[in-house]
Every structure is written in structure tokens, then in C-alpha cells.
Chains A and B, each alone.
Chain A
Amino acid sequence: MGWIGETVDSIKSLQIRQVLTQAVSLGMIVTSALIIWKALMCITGSESPVVVVLSGSMEPGFKRGDILFLHMSKDPIRAGEIVVFNVDGREIPIVHRVIKVHERQDTGEVDVLTKGDNNYGDDRLLYAHGQLWLQRHHIMGRAVGFLPYVGWVTIIMTEKPIIKYILIGALGLLVITSKD
């Protein structure tokens, strides 16, 4: 029974105040990340203010692993803009360029056709069966700026989840064990 007593003593010797401090600092990190994300959502007006490019269909402009900053304003959509859109029945949003726009006289609704710079044909093959045009509600935002390579972190983490767990574990350990 001796070693159990020792363990209990060593747990008791951890000051409760220090444990609380670690818990609070961990909570602060998580909440500040959440605050930044939600603030970005408010500023850009887009559901997902930052997206990672997953395919090479916009090369050489955007490569796999680049990060795009999105903005969703009331401004009308025009040809040439790079938009991120969701097609009914597809989960992953697509980043492509607008090549045709038809805007209604009376309602202001738009019919939009997109194409990837690196693709041979337009996107009608990617749209839902029988869909010829994208409407406003399909579009999540337009790309306004970009940062190369940074998105590789998330691509690696989604494709190799083990690395994600190792990273989270290591960071957690670091926060808990750090003394300053």
C-alpha cells in the first residue's frame, strides 16, 4: 500500500491554485481562437471566412494548400470574380472563376456560370444534374486575398488524423506542464 500513499501525497502536493491556473490558461487559448474565428465571420459576412484550396483546378493561380480569405458583401457578382460555391448534393465547396453573368432587370437575381482556370470546360458537369446556372444562394463568398502554403497544415491533419492527435496531445502536455 506504500506506493499508493506516495502517489496520493504527490497529487496532494500539487498546489490546487497552480492546477486552476493551467485550466484557465488552456480555456483562454480555446476561447480566444473561437473569438477570432467568430469575429472574422462577422467582419467578412461569410459563413467560412477562410478556406483551403483542395484541388488544382485553379492552377497556376491557386495551388493545393493555399489559403483564401473570403468576403461576402451585398455587391453584385460580376464576371472574373473568384467565388466559393456549394452545389446541392456536394459537401465540399468549390473555388472557381465566374465566366458568365446574367442579372435580371426586375428582381436583380443573377444566373452565374463558373469555370476553373485550369479546367478545359465550364462547370456545368460539376453542378447538380440538369442545373445550368448558379444562383446567389449557392455562393458562399468571393476570394479577396490569399496566403500560400499555410493550408498544408490542415490538409495534412485531415488526411493523417494521427498527426492531429499527436499535435493536440503535445500542445496539451506543454500547457499543463509549463511552469511560467
Chain B
Amino acid sequence: MHSFGYRANALLTFAVTILALMCAMASFSDNLNHPSPSSSVQVLNVNWFQKQPNGNDEVSLTLNISADLQSLFTWNTKQVFVFLAAEYETPKNSLNQISLWDGIIASKEHAKFWTHTSNKYRFIDQGSNLRGKEFNLTLHWHVMPKTGKMFADKLVMSGYRLPKEYR
């Protein structure tokens, strides 16, 4: 009853239970944070816009992205993954989401940023539907906790339009 093995077992079980409880509480405490992030994106230039030999439209944009995501950070936040996606509808596809830029924010100090960039991933349509196409730019973020549940949300910015002609 009071052997070494018995005591070691009891201690270990207790320690693991407490640790699991602390992890669960840390993850739960994220629910108490109500973030209010803000963002704005400008399309500064259409660098080029053409039809590939296989028939798909491709466009290259220069973007100015600024955002304030400081309110997403809590004590249980390891990092925030943020990306900007172009979202639009075509006759063939009910939803097209194309990530144009992404970044990893490791700390609250870096969560208020602006960047001037051309699209990091290729903006290619499935087909030839991009001329004059109206699209949304959506800033998505995925909060990775130190432990527990992951959170995600987005800010939709609408009213962007691609040129009517290739260039």
C-alpha cells in the first residue's frame, strides 16, 4: 500500500492531471479575449495581366497591406498566421480563393505592420474569367495557441476590380 511504486504512481498521475487541467484552462482563457483587428489593402499596380498558353488567366499585382492585429495576442498565443486571399466567383467555380501573400507574426510587437509587396503566390484562374472581374481581398488570420484550440477569423474588403484588357 505504501510502497515506492505506489507513491510514484500517485504523484505522476496527479502531476499529469494538473498539467492537463492547466492546458485546458489556458486554452479556455482564449475565449475571454474579444479581438478587434483592423486592416486596409490597396492595389497599387497591375504589373502584368495575360493569358497563359494553356488558357488560364494570370495577373501580377503590387499590393500595399497594412493591418493592426495586436488585439489577437493573449498569453496563450504562440503565433498568428496571417494571409491575404483574393476571392471571387466564376461561372465554373462558386468560390475561388487564392492566397496572394502570407506572413507569420511571432509577437505582439510585430502585429501592427504594413508591407509593400507584389503577390507572393501566382494569381492564376481556372479558365479565362479575370478580365474586368470584381473580387474581394480578404485578410485571414489563424491564431496558433501555445496549447489547445486554434482560432481563425477574417476581414473581407470588397470592391476591387481587375482591368478589362490584358496588359
Contacts and interface: CB of A to CB of B under 8 A. Distances in A.
Interface of A: 60-62, 76, 78-82, 97, 99-105, 108, 111, 115, 117, 122, 143-148, 174, 178, 180
Contact of B94 (A62, A104, A144): A104
A80 B79 CA distance: 14
B121 A144 contact: no
B136 interface: no
B68 to A, nearest CB: 19
A53 B111 CA distance: 27
A105 B149 contact: no
B147 A146 contact: yes
Contact of B150 (A105, A122, A143, A178): A143
Contacts of A145: 27, 145, 148-150
Interface residues of B, number: 35
A145 B147 CA distance: 8
Interface string B124-167: 00100000000000001010111111101000000000000000
Contact of B96 (A99, A102, A146): A102
A104 B104 CA distance: 30
A99 B93 contact: no
Nearest to B127: A102
Interface centre among A81, A99, A143 (most CB of B within 10 A): A99
